[in-house]
Amino acid sequence: MTDEPKDHVMRASLPWRPEEELTECGRPAGNFDSRYVLSRADAVSRFRQHGQRRSYQLFCMTCLDTVNRWPTWEKDPARTLSRHLGGYGRGRDDRIDDELRALAELVDRHRDEFDALLTAEGDLVRLSAVRHRRRS
């Protein structure tokens, strides 16, 4: 075993919270040397490089376990949001009510743009459409 600090993985954040800097284990990323805080992509690459057994020695076990249970916003926005709604056991994030109200207000102010994004006119790419294209 090594006395080196364990690697931690950055938590998937909400797109309107780019400043959020938590690891998957819930600790502020600033608590660790930046060499030991990995993006999800880097963590997956390192996991593949070292394999499961070695990764269990290199990574924070909570980060390694949690990264597999919670998706990114791009993969599953609803589950990512549910994590911030209290889905990770520590209660609800107090900011979420204000953020959801602000999002609703933005939709209200820009209803035409919002509706266009949800129709074929918009540029929004649905994950189901991407999956369908891959299967074809």
Query: pLDDT per residue over 4-32, tens digit each?
Result: 799 999 998 889 987 778 899 989 999 99
Q: How many Å apart are CA 2 and CA 98, to the nearest integer?
A: 45
The whole-number pLDDT of residue 38 equals 95
Residue 59 lies in a domain: yes
Burial degree of 4 (CB within 10 A; 0-12, 13-18, 19+): exposed
Q: How many Å apart are CA 69 and CA 40, to the nearest integer?
A: 13
Residue 26 lies in a domain: yes
Element of type H or E holding 13: none
Number of domains in the chain: 1
Residue 85 lies in a domain: no
Give the residue, 22 or 1, on which the prediction is more confident: 22
Residue 98 lies in a domain: no
Residue 76 lies in a domain: no
pTM: 0.72
The whole-number pLDDT of residue 129 equals 61
Q: pLDDT confidence of 104, banded at 50, 70, 90?
A: very high
Give the residue, 119 or 123, on which the prediction is more confident: 119
Residue 14 lies in a domain: yes
The whole-number pLDDT of residue 100 equals 92
Residue 22 lies in a domain: yes
- Say whether 122 sits in a helix, a strand or coil: coil
Range of the domain at 59: 1-70
- Say whether 97 sits in a helix, a strand or coil: helix
Residue 40 lies in a domain: yes
The whole-number pLDDT of residue 89 equals 52
The whole-number pLDDT of residue 43 equals 93
